[in-house]
């Protein structure tokens, strides 16, 4: 008997941004696969399979195999699974294992980019929305950075490195930038400064960068 896979978006990090659909889906699953930070959002999950970055692929493969064996499996994805999430990876693994695509359901979540747009009062359907997670080709930002739209991005490296890259490629030092750090957490911080100052500042890896 073939099981079921739910790829569940768990929002930007705080439990208040979990949807009811996400909570109900996880509660009804036989197994839950996710990072420790993601699993900790749920008090009563069963069959917890936690991973860190190093064993991500192994744990995702384990989760898909459990579904192949007939179980209902929730795979947790920070933010929304379809934006810098695990959707494509799970689909690839599932295809390799001949798991039927019709038995996979995506439960959308709130992306940290959406939250950043809300915090900055940005109508984000008119913004350049970009992710550089897991990518080194940050030069892709250059063709759009001066198109008259706000750019909201998940940086691939330290925020200050991305700011310095923009400076090195001719973006004005006084360009307005907002860094949204650890959104939805108790120590959330929103810093507004110019590009030059951001290039000289330190932030954690959990950041969104907004360039005006």
CATH assignment of the domain containing 23: 3.40.1010.10
Q: Considering 107, 127, 148, which residue would you say is the last residue of a domain?
A: 107
Six token digits for residue 4: 């079921």
Does residue 113 sit in helix, strand or coil? helix
Q: Looking at the structure, tell me whether residues 31 and 86 fall in a common domain.
A: yes
Looking at residue 33, its pLDDT comes to: 95
Q: Is the pLDDT of residue 128 over 80?
A: yes
Same domain? 82 vs 137: no
Tell me if 183 sits within 8 A of 208, measured CB to CB. yes
**CA 168-201-36 angle, 5° bins:** 110
pTM more than 0.85 = yes
Domain count of the fold of the chain = 2
Domain edge (last residue) among 107, 141, 164: 107
Q: Note the pLDDT tens digit of each residue in 61-72.
A: 999 999 999 999
Answer whether 178's CB lies under 8 Å from 191's CB: yes
Last residue of one domain, picked from the residues 88, 107, 126: 107
- For residue 61, CA distances in Å to 26, 41, 53, 119, 136 come to 18, 22, 14, 36, 25
Residues 181 and 129 in one domain: yes
Retrieve residue 124's tokens: 């984000």
* Domain identity same for 9 and 102: yes
pLDDT at residue 88 tops 90: yes
- Shared domain for 103 and 10, answered yes or no, is yes
Structural domain that includes position 97: 4-107
Query: Do 58 and 121 belong to one domain?
Result: no
pLDDT tens figures, 147-156: 999 999 999 8
What are 8's two structure tokens?
């569940």
What are the tens digits of pLDDT across the range 91-122?
A: 999 999 999 999 999 999 999 999 999 999 99
């Amino acid at each position: 008997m073939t099981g079921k896979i739910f790829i569940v978006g768990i929002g930007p990090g705080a439990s208040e941004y979990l949807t009811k659909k996400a909570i109900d889906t996880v509660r009804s699953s036989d197994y839950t696969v996710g990072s420790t930070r993601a699993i900790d959002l749920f008090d009563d999950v069963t069959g917890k399979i936690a991973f860190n970055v190093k064993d991500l692929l192994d744990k995702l493969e384990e989760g898909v195999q459990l579904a192949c064996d007939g179980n209902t499996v929730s795979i947790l994805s920070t933010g929304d699974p379809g934006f810098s999430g695990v959707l494509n990876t799970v689909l690839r693994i599932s295809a390799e294992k001949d798991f039927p695509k019709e038995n996979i359901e995506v439960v959308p979540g709130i992306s940290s980019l959406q939250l950043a747009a809300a915090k900055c009062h940005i109508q984000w359907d008119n913004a350049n929305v970009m992710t550089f997670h897991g990518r080194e080709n940050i030069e892709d930002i250059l063709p759009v950075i001066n198109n008259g739209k706000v750019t909201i991005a998940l940086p691939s490296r330290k925020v200050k490195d991305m700011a310095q890259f923009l400076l090195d490629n001719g973006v004005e030092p006084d360009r307005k930038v907002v860094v949204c750090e650890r959104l939805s957490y108790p120590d959330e911080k929103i810093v507004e400064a110019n590009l030059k100052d951001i290039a000289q500042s330190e932030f954690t890896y959990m950041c969104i960068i907004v360039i005006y």
